[in-house]
Amino acid sequence: MFPLTVIVLAIAVCIGDGCCAMVSALLGEGKPDKARRVFGNAIFITVLASVVIAAVYLLFSDGLVAVFGGRVNRETYDLSKEYFFWIALGVPFYMFGQAMNPVIRADGSPRFAMASTLAGAVTNMILDPVFIFGFKWGMTGAAVATVIGQIVTAALAVWYLYHLKSVTLDKGSFVLKRKVIGRIVSLGLCSFLSQISLVAAMAAINNMVRKYGALDPVFGLEQYAQIPMAVVGIVMKFFQIVISIVVGMAAGCIPVVGFNMGAKRPDRVRKLFTMLLIGEAAVGLAALIIVECFPEALIGIFGAANESVYYTDFAVKAFRVYLCMMVFACVNKATFIFLQAMGKAVPSTMLSMVREIVFGVGFALLLPVFFGLDGVLYSMPVSDLLTAAVSAVIICGAYKKLTKDARDHRGKSSAIPQEALQHA
């Protein structure tokens, strides 16, 4: 079910992040009327898209469950169908809550955005044991608890939309404009591709781990066959935790960058870009120290402390090799998002695609041909290192542009009193 959820999330963040970047710039330019139209269009297309996706999921549930691995056996298929039915019903609530989160941040309320998300998560955590064990609803209970949590987040988002600080929505706000929707999608395309490409990259990595693990002298034995997949799974979990921190820091910059770009303050944008890159590099360095110095501790945290020596040795190697370029990985992700916030949709999208698809999927498929199972581990650092080289060129170009714009802005500002003095 994970890939199907990612599809919904990808569309939601595409709309939400695109709207956030566009609204922030318009508010910085002092154009609240246009910002109101962007808010309304984003809300409308979110609702429309979520209903369409939910209908497709419900109508084609049998085929979708089968395609994404639900037919392992009859029991798995029945449980998957049971869970998927309720999750599909909750798609409109989930998608609305996720899309409105960056919209709320763009309105200047990041704390409310965080609180609404946490409220849904806490609700889900509380209701899970009640429905699963108390009511004995099993898989249905888990799904219903998840959907109720999503409803809570969506309800809080609806409440907030009635109390927007920057604009007041009216009926005219929801009249769809092709240019507005096109700009929202173009600015949010990087976020969309980042989510979708994650599914493609994980599929490639999992297939290569399964294929070349079976050819390994140790992991080809039945009793050790599950080790490579399990190890890569826990390494990716740790990686996702770190990247979540990185994305959170960068996403928090989107409304600030957009506003200052609209307000013609490139000096502030440049300063924030510098601070973000330093902060993201620090996060990556801290993660790197952990994986290189304390991999055994990480293995224990993820519940694998008492596994075989083959498990431990491969896990230590995987952490140290697969994540050895964490600093570059964090800086790369920050660059994607910051460019998006600056309104540079094309370079942001292209850089993201190069990293996730060209390098991420490409090297995951290519390197194992020459290096076997180790090639899967090499694919991540090689991808991040090459992407960092491309990012460095784009970052330098962005700095030059911001510096030039800041110089021009200062020149225009200083010219006004001189002209006034001459007239006097």
Answer yes or no: is pLDDT of 146 > 90. Answer: yes
Q: What single DSSP character describes residue 359? A: I
Considering only 74-88, 284-298, 299-313, 342-356, which range has the smallest mean pLDDT?
Answer: 299-313
Considering only 35-39, 240-244, 414-418, which range has the smallest mean pLDDT?
Answer: 414-418
- Euclidean distance between CA atoms 168 and 39, whole angstroms: 10
- Euclidean distance between CA atoms 372 and 212, whole angstroms: 6
Output the furthest CA–CA distance in the chain (Å, rounded): 91
Answer yes or no: is pLDDT of 111 > 60. Answer: yes
Mean pLDDT of the chain, nearest integer = 87
What does each C-alpha distance from 245 to 11, 147, 235, 279, 334 come to in angstroms? 21, 25, 16, 11, 11
Identify which of 105-119, 191-205, 281-295 has the greatest average pLDDT: 281-295
pLDDT score, position 423? 44
Give the confidence band of 366 by pLDDT, cuts at 50, 70, 90: very high
Which one is predicted more confidently, 16 or 348? 16
114 burial (CB, 10 Å; 0-12 / 13-18 / 19+) is: middle
Give the confidence band of 214 by pLDDT, cuts at 50, 70, 90: confident
Answer yes or no: is pLDDT of 325 > 90. Answer: yes
pLDDT score, position 385? 95
CA angle 187/196/254 to nearest 5° reads: 30
pLDDT score, position 236? 85
* pLDDT tens digit sequence for 53-104: 999 999 998 888 776 655 545 776 788 888 899 999 999 999 999 999 998 9
Give the confidence band of 181 by pLDDT, cuts at 50, 70, 90: very high
Averaged pLDDT for residues 14-27 = 90
Considering only 31-35, 275-279, 355-359, 410-414, which range has the smallest mean pLDDT?
Answer: 410-414
Answer yes or no: is pLDDT of 421 > 50. Answer: no
CB 281 within 8 A of CB 330: yes
Give the start-to-end residue ranges of the domains of the chain. 1-176, 198-424
Answer yes or no: is pLDDT of 131 > 80. Answer: yes
Answer yes or no: is pLDDT of 203 > 50. Answer: yes
Averaged pLDDT for residues 25-43 = 92
Give the confidence band of 420 by pLDDT, cuts at 50, 70, 90: very low
Answer yes or no: is pLDDT of 122 > 60. Answer: yes
Give the confidence band of 415 by pLDDT, cuts at 50, 70, 90: low
**pTM: predicted TM-score of the whole model, two decimal places:** 0.74
Q: What single DSSP character describes residue 165? A: S
Answer yes or no: is pLDDT of 413 > 70. Answer: no
Give the confidence band of 243 by pLDDT, cuts at 50, 70, 90: confident
Averaged pLDDT for residues 212-218 = 88
Of residues 265, 300, 225, the one with CA closest to residue 407: 265
Give the confidence band of 284 by pLDDT, cuts at 50, 70, 90: very high
pLDDT score, position 293? 93
Considering only 10-24, 45-59, 105-119, 236-250, which range has the smallest mean pLDDT?
Answer: 236-250
Give the confidence band of 387 by pLDDT, cuts at 50, 70, 90: very high
pLDDT cut 90: percent of the chain above it: 46
Averaged pLDDT for residues 36-64 = 94
At 250, list the tokens.
């960068």
At 291, list the tokens.
């994986």
Answer yes or no: is pLDDT of 233 > 70. Answer: yes
Considering only 299-303, 353-357, 385-389, which range has the smallest mean pLDDT?
Answer: 299-303
What does each C-alpha distance from 332 to 81, 385, 394 come to in angstroms? 38, 9, 11
pLDDT score, position 424? 39
pLDDT score, position 379? 93
